[in-house]
């Protein structure tokens, strides 16, 4: 059994099964790079402030560099008895350079150390996630550009409502993702502040320079209050909340992809690379990836609620409960990155079955609003027009027709205001083209939106 780095006050040896329960090394080893980076900044600061002699600083920096290289090669053998990443690294350092390694922890506590690691980690990960959001936005834009004039039924209540441009439908998700991107981007200013130097909770007697370590680590500033610095996990909650929102958006698109690729809709076909077969039913092509992303949304929400609940009754400042902040955060980082990557590929490669979409809009009543608008534009009050068209729809249903199948005589019988141009007005393409109000599905609007979206993407 290795001696504890904090063992001085203890008279009994720790039980290994108790150690195992309390340890976080099994998961917080993911912070290895950030932990070493934070330590390097801290020891440089101790040297600069004359707290640790320069030659000791050099020895410690050399030792940390060796450990960093070993970490990169996957050569570090972590020990559960050393509890977490911080104590494991410190132990490796002391083993590497001797007792002088013990000077690294001067003026520092694991409480400000772990908080620093988490801030560094999340800053890096959020930046990577933002790049992945951009890639998915590009994939959506790519499909949208090819399908401005592809018409698909638009739904409300999952009932055919009005035809829309397929590009318009896809671009709705582009804008949701844009807000997700902005939320992550704005959160960086709260992530990128340094808790280092807060000590255990109260600061330290050593003449440290917090601004210096903050600058070395690329932080924009320091926490104003040492107790807040070691207790704050709201930057992680915010990340989990932003991720929940993103996953909710992805999950909605998953649901549409699953519907669209079904036998009932047949609006798209997923590329073989993003679908799977059945072990028993040879005909099956399942949209597994979309289902899985929809499913994984649940665990991200779970991590958000888990951390909110963990923190809600905690008094200041650090409590061991807070070690529970990590697994949900790591899991969310992996889930979000994986989902975004899969999604971009799935969208890029999906085949749009535009003929089937068009056929669908020719065989429904989603052009009925157009008919009412037509009468209203000729002076009939909209309510009355609505009634006339409702009756015409009923007449069609009873006679197994669609609106475009009606004869001029049938139209005239419903209202004298109908003229020959009604057949053109009722064409799904015309219906879509004419919805040219700002942000509408009219082709000109959609084209403008695509140009705007491209300029946003090009600035990222
Ligand atoms: N493994 C701990 C955590 O993740 C590090 C901080 C421990 N500090 C302490 N005083 N026990 O929260």
Helical ranges in 162-274 per DSSP H: 166-191, 210-216, 226-231, 234-260
Query: Are 182 and 58 in a shared domain?
Result: no
User: Pseudo-torsion of CA 410, 414, 420, 426, nearest 10°?
Assistant: -90
Q: Which atom of ligand 1 is nearest to the CA of 326?
A: 4
Q: How many whole angstroms separate alpha carbon 151 and alpha carbon 367?
A: 12
Which of 16, 105, 135, 157 is the catalytic position?
A: 157
Mutate to test the pocket of ligand 1, among 5, 110, 112, 115 (most ligand atoms within 8 A of CB): 110
Strands 159-165 and 193-194: unpaired
| Element (DSSP H or E) covering residue 152 | strand 151-156
pLDDT of residue 173: 98
Domains in the chain: how many in total?
A: 3
Choose one of 71, 91, 106: the last residue of a domain: 106
Beta strands in 323-372 (DSSP E): 351-352
Q: Which atom of ligand 1 is nearest to the CA of 24?
A: 1
Q: Residue 183: pLDDT above 60? A: yes
ipTM score over 0.95, yes or no: yes
Mutate to test the pocket of ligand 1, among 9, 323, 327, 328 (most ligand atoms within 8 A of CB): 323
| Ligand 1, atom 3: closest residue by C-alpha | 323
Question: Taking the CB of residue 124, how many other CB atoms lie within 10 A of it?
Answer: 14
CATH number at residue 81: 1.10.275.10
What the block records as the tokens of 241 is 């909340």
Residues paired with residue 269 on neighbouring β-strands, in sequence order:
351
CA of 115 to the centre of ligand 1 (A): 9
Query: Are 350 and 364 in a shared domain?
Result: no
Q: Give the residue-averaged pLDDT of 32-49.
A: 98
Query: Are 432 and 302 in a shared domain?
Result: no
pLDDT of residue 2: 61
Q: Is the residue at 441 inside a domain? A: yes
Torsion 231-236-242-245 (CA) sign: negative
Q: Is the residue at 70 inside a domain? A: yes
Q: Is the residue at 179 inside a domain? A: yes
Query: Are 160 and 298 in a shared domain?
Result: yes
Q: Under 8 Å CB-to-CB from 131, ≥6 apart: which residues?
A: none
Choose one of 71, 106, 141: the last residue of a domain: 106
pLDDT in tens, 370-382: 999 999 999 999 9
Q: Is the residue at 4 inside a domain? A: no
Query: Are 242 and 376 in a shared domain?
Result: no
CA of 51 to the centre of ligand 1 (A): 25
Question: Taking the CB of residue 456, how many other CB atoms lie within 10 A of it?
Answer: 15
317 lines ligand 1 (CB under 6 A): no
Residues paired with residue 162 on neighbouring β-strands, in sequence order:
154
Query: Are 239 and 252 in a shared domain?
Result: yes
CATH number at residue 124: 1.20.200.10
pLDDT in tens, 323-350: 999 999 999 999 999 999 999 999 999 9
157 tagged catalytic? yes
CA of 205 to the centre of ligand 1 (A): 21
Domain region containing 36: 14-106
Query: Are 140 and 226 in a shared domain?
Result: yes
Query: Are 218 and 350 in a shared domain?
Result: yes
395 tagged catalytic? no
* CA atoms in the 13 A half-sphere facing the CB of 183: 18
Q: How many whole angstroms separate alpha carbon 244 and alpha carbon 310?
A: 18
Q: Is the residue at 460 inside a domain? A: no
Query: Are 157 and 278 in a shared domain?
Result: yes
CATH number at residue 427: 1.10.40.30
Query: Are 260 and 276 in a shared domain?
Result: yes
118 lines ligand 1 (CB under 6 A): no
Q: Is the residue at 455 inside a domain? A: no
Strands 351-352 and 268-269: antiparallel
Q: Is 352 left (phi over 0), alpha (psi -120 to 50) or beta?
A: beta
Which of 16, 278, 334, 377 is the catalytic position?
A: 278
pLDDT in tens, 212-259: 999 999 999 999 999 999 999 999 999 999 999 999 999 999 999 999
CB 307 within 8 A of CB 385: no
113 lines ligand 1 (CB under 6 A): no
Q: Under 8 Å CB-to-CB from 439, ≥6 apart: which residues?
A: 445, 449
111 lines ligand 1 (CB under 6 A): yes
The structure's pTM equals: 0.94
Mutate to test the pocket of ligand 1, among 6, 38, 114 (most ligand atoms within 8 A of CB): 114
Q: Is the residue at 242 inside a domain? A: yes
Query: Are 271 and 293 in a shared domain?
Result: yes
**Peptide linkage before 64 cis (omega within 30 of 0):** no
Query: Are 369 and 397 in a shared domain?
Result: yes
CA of 209 to the centre of ligand 1 (A): 23
Q: Is the residue at 450 inside a domain? A: no
Choose one of 106, 129, 145: the last residue of a domain: 106
Q: Which atom of ligand 1 is nearest to the CA of 85?
A: 1
pLDDT of residue 4: 81
What the block records as the tokens of 141 is 């834009």
pLDDT in tens, 81-94: 999 999 999 999 99
């Amino acid at each position: 059994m290795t001696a504890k780095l904090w063992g001085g006050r203890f008279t009994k040896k720790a039980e290994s099964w108790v150690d195992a329960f309390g340890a976080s090394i099994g998961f917080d080893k993911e912070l290895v790079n950030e932990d070493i980076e934070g330590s390097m900044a801290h020891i440089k600061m101790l040297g600069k402030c004359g707290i640790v002699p320069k030659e000791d600083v050099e020895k410690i920096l050399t030792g940390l560099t060796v450990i960093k290289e070993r970490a990169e090669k996957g050569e570090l053998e972590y020990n559960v008895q050393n509890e977490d990443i911080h104590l494991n690294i410190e132990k490796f350092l002391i083993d590497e350079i001797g007792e002088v390694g013990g000077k690294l922890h001067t003026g520092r506590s694991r409480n400000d150390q772990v908080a620093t690691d988490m801030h560094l980690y999340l800053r890096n990960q959020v930046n990577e996630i933002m790049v992945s959001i951009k890639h998915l936005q590009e994939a959506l834009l790519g499909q949208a550009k090819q399908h401005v004039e592809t018409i698909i039924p638009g739904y409300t209540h999952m009932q055919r409502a009005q035809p829309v441009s397929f590009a318009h439908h896809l671009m709705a998700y582009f804008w949701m993702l844009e807000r997700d991107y902005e939320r992550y981007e704005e959160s960086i200013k709260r992530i990128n502040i340094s808790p280092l130097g807060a000590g255990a909770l109260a600061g330290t007697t050593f003449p440290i320079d917090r601004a210096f370590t903050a600058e070395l680590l690329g932080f924009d500033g320091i926490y104003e209050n040492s107790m807040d610095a070691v207790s704050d996990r709201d930057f992680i909650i915010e990340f989990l909340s932003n991720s929940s929102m993103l996953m909710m958006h992805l999950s909605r698109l998953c649901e549409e992809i699953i519907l669209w690729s079904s036998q009932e809709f047949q609006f798209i076909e997923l590329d073989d690379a993003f679908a799977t077969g059945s072990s028993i039913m040879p005909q099956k092509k399942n949209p597994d990836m979309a289902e899985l992303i929809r499913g994984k949304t649940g665990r991200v929400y779970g991590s958000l609620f888990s951390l909110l609940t963990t923190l809600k009754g905690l008094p200041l400042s650090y409590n061991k409960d807070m070690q529970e902040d990590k697994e949900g955060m790591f899991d969310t980082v992996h889930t979000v990155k994986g989902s975004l990557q899969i999604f971009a590929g799935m969208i890029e490669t999906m085949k749009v079955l535009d003929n089937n979409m068009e056929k669908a809009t020719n065989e429904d009543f989603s052009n009925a609003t157009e008919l009412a608008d037509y009468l209203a534009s000729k002076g009939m009050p909209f309510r009355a027009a609505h009634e006339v068209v409702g009756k015409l729809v009923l007449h069609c249903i009873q006679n197994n027709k669609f609106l475009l199948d009606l004869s001029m005589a049938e139209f005239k019988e419903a209202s004298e205001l109908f003229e020959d141009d009604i057949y053109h007005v009722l064409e799904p393409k015309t219906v879509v083209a004419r919805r040219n109000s700002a942000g509408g599905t009219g082709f000109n609007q959609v084209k403008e939106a695509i140009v705007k979206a491209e300029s946003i993407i090009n600035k990222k």
